[in-house]
Amino acid sequence: MKVVIVGGVAGGATAAARIRRLDEQAEIVIFERSGYMSYANCGLPYYIGGVIDDPAELTLQTPEGFFARFRVQVKVRHEVTAIRPAEKTVLVKNLETGEEFAESYDKLLLSPGAKPTRPNLPGVGLDRLFTLRTVEDTFRIKAYIQEHHPKSVILAGGGFIGLELAENLRKLGMAVTIVQRPKQLMNPFDPDMAAFIHGEMRRNGVTLALGHTVEGFVEKDGGLDVLLQGEPPLHADMGVLAIGVTPDTQLAKDAGLALGIKGSILVNDRMETSLPDIYAVGDAVQVKHYVTGSDALISLAGPANKQGRIAADNLCGGNSRYLGSQGSAIVQVFDLTAATTGINEGTAKKAGIPVDKVVLSPMNHAGYYPGGRVMTMKVIFARDTHRLLGAQIVGYQGVDKRIDVLATAIHAGLTVTQLKDLDLAYAPPYSSAKDPVNMAGFLAENVINGLVRQFHVEDVAALPRDGSVTLLDVRTPGEYSRGHIPGFVNIPVDELRQRLDEVPPGKPVYVICQSGVRSYIAARILAGQGYLCYNFSGGYRFYAGVTEDRRLVEAATGCGMDKNPA
């Protein structure tokens, strides 16, 4: 059997190694358009910033090393220009010599990946405007910085690569501005959770120009002007387009393969395309979202590697199935860690799924052990079945552990209340006897069983201030004096029983504290006295972070620039 693989990064390289382990006699050839194979896309920003100082560390394998171990021919700087399914050949161009030739195959695997989205705008292609996708892109940006010593940069786009690049360029001493049309960074997160990412970016000197439409780029005054719709242009020494990626599927389209979202390649759960003996994997393919079952494009390394293995199994005669992509992801944002899995609240509502949520702010480990830090967790579940749908966590140490537990729980089809039953490892430096994941389950169970009624950030503005309800803040007087929601009166939780005469009977009571714990206790005290109570989800810390971010984003939308409060 002869297998030709188009693309030698995550999916293609994984498939080649798996095929060899399954079939020692197979002839395997990889054609890779760039000069590198099996390179670490996710590490590229860290090489630019100097965290990774050896460029060799960016490539997990070399053609020579791959051949020595797996006897796979890897031909870099070779572009497959056409597929001839009827003849079972591909046309290949050697990009160094210009030579063109045909290569036959018994099985063909497409792993072309995705390319940076390049909008059809004036100025795209200017020398000072870069994209970051390949090792060559990385070297170009690094060389430009070393040669020209730019002091400022504008990043168009605030996804994973944009955030990682912003951090690394900021650490090089550059003034960094992120501009984009959406009013939040990181679309997999809900706006309330993205607020904490925004805050960390601002604290580290990154300027956010959110809610602006880029209309073009112009070289000016030795730098680059980014033209904005209805606003003065932004100026910097260089720019980077980081507005996302598009499936690189012209080859598949020309060959007559069935296509899906944004021209992605349609595959079944065996990673088979619409044409016989042709498989496809990675960022170029349309998949099913594991939670919703809907069609999706999810450009992440983990799914690409799994798909490569599954395709290899099947083209070697096996019967492996891809169950779908869940979108589990994590990113470092300066000192902060932000992670997500499953779907967020906004996606659930767009899909017509009736959802509920809990927001909590647990410590990453036992409170009495030194060095504990608060994390913010938002857990989404179906209101009717209580199935766990998604989670987002922003914090410091321990975020990665909790998001992986929650990702596993989603994959296993657990309900949100089953989180309370998970037997998770505990020692004071690492966790608490009731882990944050358990706490999410406890809180959700209270909500589902009616022990707790919640109100949320989006409900606060509509609360009546006419005396028909009681608005109660049960933090200490010192906490209250440092900031509170207008209209909320202060009775500390430990004084509540003695001051019940200050809480008018017969009126609903809306209770808030710093994190949601004391307000829950207060709500139970009041419920025991016959009051109808609502507990604020996430606490004042959460409310203050979200509302301050909204204020800054709206101010930036109006005046053209997000002023860093620092």
CB 395 within 8 A of CB 337: yes
Place of tokens 């803040």: 473
Residue 334 · residue 311 · CB < 8 Å: no
Identify the pLDDT of residue 562.
55
pLDDT of amino acid 558: 58
Q: Are 552 and 198 contacting, i.e. CB atoms less than 8 angstroms apart? A: yes
Point out which residues pair with 266 in neighbouring strands.
286
- Tell me the HSE value of 203 on the side-chain side, using a 13 A CA sphere: 12
Is 42 annotated in the active site?
A: yes
Three-class DSSP labels, 109-124: EECCCEEECCCCCCCC
Nearest-CA neighbor of 300 among 287, 313, 319? 287
3-class DSSP assignment, residue 367? coil
Nearest to 42, CA basis, from 191, 179, 159, 196: 159
Q: Within 13 Å and on the Cβ side, how many CA atoms surround 437? A: 27
State the Cα–Cα distance between residues 248 and 271, nearest whole angstrom: 17
The DSSP secondary-structure symbol of 264 reads: P
| Rounded Cα–Cα distance for residues 540 and 99 (Å) | 66
Report yes or no: 81 and 31 within 8 Å, Cβ to Cβ: no
Question: For each of the chain's 566 residues, which pLDDT tens digit applies?
Answer: 999 999 998 899 999 999 999 999 999 999 999 988 877 777 889 989 999 888 878 777 889 999 999 999 999 999 999 999 999 999 999 999 999 999 999 999 999 999 888 888 899 989 999 998 888 899 999 999 999 999 999 999 998 889 999 999 999 999 999 999 999 999 999 999 999 999 999 999 999 999 999 999 999 999 999 999 999 999 999 999 988 889 999 999 999 999 999 999 999 999 999 999 999 999 999 999 999 999 999 988 899 999 999 999 999 999 999 999 999 999 999 999 999 999 999 999 999 999 999 999 998 988 888 988 999 999 999 999 999 999 999 999 999 999 999 999 999 999 999 999 999 999 999 999 999 999 999 999 999 999 999 999 999 999 999 999 999 999 999 999 999 999 999 999 999 999 999 999 999 999 999 999 999 999 999 999 999 999 999 999 999 999 999 999 988 765 445 544 43
Q: What share of the chain is helix, strand, coil (3-state, %, to 5)?
A: 35, 25, 40
Distance of CA 118 to the CA centre of its chain: 21
Q: Say how far apart CA 138 and CA 144 lie, in whole Å.
A: 10
Residue 322 is predicted with a pLDDT of: 97
Closest to 515 in 3D by CA, of 436, 450, 451? 436
Output the pLDDT for position 560. 47
Residue type, 322: Y
Q: Choose, from 42, 316, 533, 559, the residue flagged as catalytic.
A: 42
Is residue 157 a contact partner of residue 178, using CB atoms and an 8 Å limit? yes
57 touches 35 (CB < 8 A): no
Contact of 288 with 294, CB cutoff 8 Å? yes
